Amino acid sequence: MKLAWHDAWGGARGVVMRLSPEARLLVACALVFACLVSPVATGVGSALSGAICGAWVLSCRPPWRVLSSALLLGMTLFAPIFLLTPWLEPGVGSLGRATAPWTILLRGSSCLVVSLTAASTLAASDLREALLRLPAPAMVTAIVIQIVHQVPILVDETRRIASAMAVRAATGRGMPSWRAARALPLVWLPRVLERADRVATAMALRGYCESSGSFRQQGRLALRDGVGLALATLVLASAVALRWLA
């Protein structure tokens, strides 16, 4: 199932949408770290990781396409690692040789589910607002915002080039396809650079570089934001405690 970059952002309808954008981003980051540090080789750690994903999905209610794409991508990326099980050393716990593949599968899939579900709670404007309100470096904020905004444009540009090549019968086998593959960088890169130059010129004309810091808004978190951050911190602390005791 294909999921476009811009389709993953926004569309959630859960109670998490009542939180401010920066609170949603911080909660998602805390849950991702909790999935990373949770000792998933044990039964309690696996249950905690699954509970984090389940509770986060139910709280966000992302579009089914986002959730199914996250699960499918996780299985595609990490499930083939189980093919190496006969050649691995037995790990600690009841899983034996499957300890390492299971750890990679569960951690990777849970981080994908939490991350893509978090993206469904943040539109591009929400992400910009969250990054500007958080004490993040201005350069990092500008880079992340530009990546989120420009990647869909570059993907559409690539699709238009591919469609033009298909119409001109340049996608078959043999010498035509080889020549088209060699010429693709000569066509795609100049168009990407030209678009980047136009974006930089537009940003300069609007005074983006001089006034980007003045857009940073300072606001006090609401009570529900504090409750959400407290719950996320509690989950992260629980995962750290289980990792310490494991």
pLDDT (tens digit per residue) in 107-165: 999 999 999 999 999 988 888 888 888 887 888 887 887 777 777 777 676 677 667 76
Residue 215 — pLDDT band, cuts 50, 70, 90? very low
Q: Is the model's pLDDT at 6 over the cut of 70?
A: no
Residue 124 has a pLDDT of 81
Query: How many CA atoms lie within 13 Å of 127's alpha carbon, on the beta-carbon side?
Result: 22
Separation between Cα atoms, residue 14 and residue 56, nearest integer Å: 9
Nearest to 154 by CA among 2, 6, 3: 6
pLDDT at 147: 78
| pLDDT score of 194 | 79
Interatomic CA distance for residues 4 and 116, integer angstroms: 12
Contact between residue 34 and residue 234 where contact means Cβ atoms under 8 Å apart: no
Residues of the chain with pLDDT > 90: what percent?
A: 41
pLDDT confidence band for 228 (50 / 70 / 90):
very high
**Interval 224-230 mean pLDDT:** 94
Classify burial at 25, counting beta carbons within 10 Å of its beta carbon; exposed 0-12, middle 13-18, buried 19 or more.
Answer: buried
Min mean pLDDT across 7-21, 25-39, 94-108, 132-146 is at 132-146
**CA 43/CA 48 separation, integer angstroms:** 9
How far apart CA 82 and CA 30 sit, in angstroms, is 28
Residue type for position 224 = R
**What is the distance between the alpha carbons of residues 155 and 138, in angstroms, rounded to a whole number?**
26
Separation of alpha carbons 8 and 121, rounded Å:
9
17, 22, 207: which is closest to 132 by C-alpha?
A: 22
Average pLDDT taken over every residue of the chain: 82
pLDDT at residue 237 greater than cutoff 70: yes
Global pTM value:
0.79
- pLDDT, residue 135, reads 85
Question: Per-residue confidence at 180, pLDDT binned at 50, 70, 90?
Answer: low
